[in-house]
């Protein structure tokens, strides 16, 4: 299991924020299964992220203020014949954290290449 | 008879939700309800998206199985968070853990009694009274029902009461049953009669007191021993400074 460095995001959290921002651009918000599906599509993977792994990461990102969530009105789910969804949005802090993480990874990759040059 | 693909798929959904209910059983109600609702939605959406794909049940189960370590880690973190904010002296982690250990020990004791008596009856060496056999079977049955009930959050207090009865039957009479199956224990019993009886009664009383205390501890807050007094206090008319009731 990858160890977390202070202030950094692990791979799954990066994937969640990236896929979440994509879905948010399409529909304004996203829910657990749609997110798992989009992450799998982005990674060209057959298996979806495990329930426990996904919802634990979503809870962690929400606690850090990188995501916010509301429960959908139960009447909407009932009218469509399905359980209500928990709708997530990537917050401004989430977008900043995502960009900062990509930048930090890019710097590490460049330094790594320079060390072997 | 073999079940069709649809039946097995729905069983997989139920299994995932049952697992969800199990690992959220000791958590605060709103946190547990949110996780179960999220799982229900996810499982439903996956099944709906898969259409008639017969492999969807396996996929749902495999997702749940791969997430078990994360589920348990999340549960542990939530329990510790709840324990940090719990009132002093309530031991929200230690008490349920102790109850589950005591339940496991009681079940093991019951199984030991039934197995010893069963093997004694089968090889013809059983010389004890038949009411001891009945006590062993009834006690183990009660303990099994009680332990199953303690897995259901709303019925946990009732399970503890079943376990209190089971512990009395299994500890009070089970010891005599085991004595009847063992020459060594019979010798000890006859040589130290008063000590053996004292141990028997103390253990039986301790078991009953412990599980009755757990029943009170697990009683839902709105039906708890202190709820009525609290309700009465909060329903009392408020006295304004001038002495007029609100």
At B9 the pLDDT is 52
Q: Are residues B50 and B99 in the same domain?
A: no
Q: Which of residues 43-72 of A touch B (CB under 8 A)?
A: 47-56, 59, 71
Tell me whether residue B139 is in a domain: yes
Tell me whether residue B242 is in a domain: no
Domain limits for position B216: 94-220
At B235 the pLDDT is 47
Across chain A, which has 117 residues, the per-10-residue mean pLDDT values are: 74 96 93 96 91 96 96 92 95 96 87 68
Reference A88, options A111, A109, A62; nearest CA is A62
Q: Are residues B45 and B121 in the same domain?
A: no
Tell me whether residue B63 is in a domain: yes
Number of domains forming the structure of chain B = 2
Q: Are residues B208 and B100 in the same domain?
A: yes
From B34, B49, B70, residue closest to A56, measured CB to CB: B70
At B182 the pLDDT is 81
Question: Is the Cα torsion angle B65, B70, B74, B77 positive or negative in sign?
Answer: positive
- The length of chain A is 117
At B45 the pLDDT is 95
Q: Which of B55, B84, B113 is the last residue of a domain?
A: B84
At B181 the pLDDT is 82
At A57 the pLDDT is 96
At A3 the pLDDT is 63
Q: Are residues B59 and B124 in the same domain?
A: no
Residue found by looking up tokens 């408020």 in the block: B238
At B84 the pLDDT is 76
CA distance A72 to A83: 10
Q: Are residues B52 and B102 in the same domain?
A: no
Q: Are residues B53 and B100 in the same domain?
A: no
Question: Which residues have C-beta within 8 Å of that of residue A70, sequence separation ≥ 6?
Answer: A86, A87
Reference B172, options B119, B146, B208; nearest CA is B208
For testing contact with chain A, the best of B38, B57, B60, B73 (most A CBs within 10 A): B38
Q: Are residues B14 and B74 in the same domain?
A: yes
Reference A24, options A56, A73, A69, A71; nearest CA is A69
ipTM entry: 0.88
Contact call for A55 and B16, based on CB within 8 A: no
- Chain A contact set for B22 (CB, 8 A): none
Q: Which of B61, B84, B107 is the last residue of a domain?
A: B84
Across chain B, which has 246 residues, the per-10-residue mean pLDDT values are: 47 92 85 94 93 87 96 90 73 80 94 90 82 90 93 86 95 87 82 88 94 88 50 46 42
pTM: 0.65
Contact call for B63 and A33, based on CB within 8 A: no
Q: Are residues B151 and B193 in the same domain?
A: yes
Q: Are residues B71 and B122 in the same domain?
A: no
CA distances from A61 to A64, A94, B75, B139 (A): 5, 8, 16, 48
From B34, B39, B72, residue closest to A51, measured CB to CB: B39
């Amino acid at each position: 299991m990858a160890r977390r460095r202070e202030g950094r995001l692990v791979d799954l959290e990066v994937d969640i924020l990236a896929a979440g921002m994509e879905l948010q651009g399409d529909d304004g918000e996203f829910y657990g299964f749609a997110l798992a599906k989009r992450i799998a599509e982005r990674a060209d993977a057959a298996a979806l992220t495990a329930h426990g792994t996904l919802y634990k990461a979503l809870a962690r990102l929400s606690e850090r203020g990188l995501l916010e969530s509301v429960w959908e009105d139960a009447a909407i789910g009932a009218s469509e014949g399905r359980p209500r969804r928990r709708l997530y949005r990537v917050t401004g802090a989430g977008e900043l954290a995502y960009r900062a993480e990509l930048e930090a990874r890019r710097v590490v990759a460049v330094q790594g290449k320079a060390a072997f040059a | 008879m073999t079940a069709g693909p649809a039946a097995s798929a729905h069983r997989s959904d139920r299994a995932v939700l049952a697992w969800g209910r199990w690992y959220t059983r000791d958590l605060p109600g709103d946190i547990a309800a949110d996780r179960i609702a999220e799982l229900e939605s996810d499982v439903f959406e996956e099944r709906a998206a898969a259409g008639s794909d017969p492999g969807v049940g396996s996929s749902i189960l495999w997702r749940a199985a791969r997430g078990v370590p994360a589920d348990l880690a999340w549960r542990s973190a939530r329990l510790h968070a709840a324990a940090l904010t719990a009132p002093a002296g309530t031991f929200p982690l230690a008490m349920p853990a102790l109850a589950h250990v005591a339940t496991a020990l009681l079940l093991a004791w019951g199984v030991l009694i039934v197995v010893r008596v069963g093997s004694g009856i089968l090889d013809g060496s059983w010389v004890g009274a038949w009411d001891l056999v009945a006590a062993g079977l009834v006690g183990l049955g009660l303990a099994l029902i009680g332990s199953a009930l303690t897995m259901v959050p709303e019925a946990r207090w009732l399970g503890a009461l079943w376990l209190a009865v089971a512990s009395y039957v299994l500890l009070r009479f089970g010891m005599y049953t085991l004595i009847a199956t063992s020459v060594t224990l019979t010798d000890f019993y006859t040589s130290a009669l008063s000590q053996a009886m004292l141990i028997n009664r103390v253990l039986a009383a301790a078991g009953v007191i412990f599980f009755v205390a757990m029943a009170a501890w697990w009683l839902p807050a709105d039906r708890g021993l202190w709820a009525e007094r609290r309700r009465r206090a909060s329903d009392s008319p408020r006295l304004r400074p001038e002495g007029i009731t609100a």
